Structure 1
């Protein structure tokens, strides 16, 4: 079995290879040990990851700030490791798993169907990379400004199929249209023949001329005619 050794190698105990899934760090000392192990393995492998301990860790003999990790033996295939952790002049052997994680945006609170997601609605969590599907969003830029297709719960990974562009102009709504050319800018009121989100090109009927034009949606019930080469069409 190919191993990656750091400092002096330690032989894996066979029981570790057959061990049940690890336990989450619960005490302050366990969390401190898990953090230091994760830092050491992240530095060595270049992978952002979290540590799950194979068993509970006894109380530390010294201050958490003086923790030192050494003699790490890591198997990249099983993701299992053993290491020595020094605290207050005493050493203990610790075993567990190191899994690669990725930061993904989630919602701070529930967002109802149709509501637009704002930057303040988003926070970040770390998720095991192996458990991520291709549809889970890992960029806040793909979330902020979008609308929920269904009610979305707080703290859950967001999938691309959960989002849509928010409707800025509803079908039949009154729309403020701005006509722009090289020489002038005019404003008129129209009625939306179809709905659309920001950037969509929709048909709007000019209430004064009764002509239908193509307009680019720029905001709530607002659109520009002639921008971006949007053609003007007659009824």
Structure 2
């Protein structure tokens, strides 16, 4: 008799705990989120979170309408795309060199990407600045 509630709990479907921030429409991968794309959900496992925290982030995967949005599904917006021609800055002490390079990876602000210097054909690692320029890593 004591096992009956346990068995029923395992058999009967439970209501989904939709907490936190909810997508108001289907957001394909790579979509930059706006305030109109989000709404606060019912208090659930994660509690109500501030939707403005996610505005300006980019989706890593498709998030369907009505589904909760988690921080792990988002990333900083891509500033550099693969094969894009970018400005590469190299600074050591008083020496400053600026040249064009081809991005070999995609990335957002603060991330490290590989780039190929178009003049020397040398591959270097560079950090993406918030303005989209790349700074050769030391």
- Which structure would you say has the larger Rg? 1
- Between the aligned partners of 1:187 and 1:137, the Cα distance in structure 2 is 47
Q: Mind listing any 5+ residue stretches in structure 2 that lack a counterpart?
A: 1-18
Aligned residues: 119
Judge conservation of contact 2:76–2:109 (CA < 8 Å) in 1. Answer: yes
- Between the aligned partners of 2:64 and 2:97, the Cα distance in structure 1 is 41
Deviation at 1:109, TM superposition (A): 5.0
C-alpha RMSD over aligned residues: 3.2
- Between the aligned partners of 2:78 and 2:70, the Cα distance in structure 1 is 19
Match of 2:10 in 1: none
- Between the aligned partners of 2:131 and 2:67, the Cα distance in structure 1 is 29
Higher relative CO (Cα under 8 Å, sequence separation at least 6) belongs to 2
Deviation at 1:116, TM superposition (A): 1.6
Cα displacement string for residues 60-85 of structure 1 (whole angstroms, at most 9, x for unaligned residues): xxxxxxxxxxxxxxxxxxxxxxxxxx
Q: Measured at CA, do residues 216 and 138 of structure 1 come closer, stay the same or move farther in structure 2, by a change above 3 Å?
A: same
SS in 2 for 1:216: strand
Match of 1:125 in 2: 40
Q: Mind listing any 5+ residue stretches in structure 1 that lack a counterpart?
A: 1-101
Judge conservation of contact 1:137–1:159 (CA < 8 Å) in 2. Answer: no
**2:78 equivalent to 1:167:** yes
Deviation at 1:184, TM superposition (A): 4.8
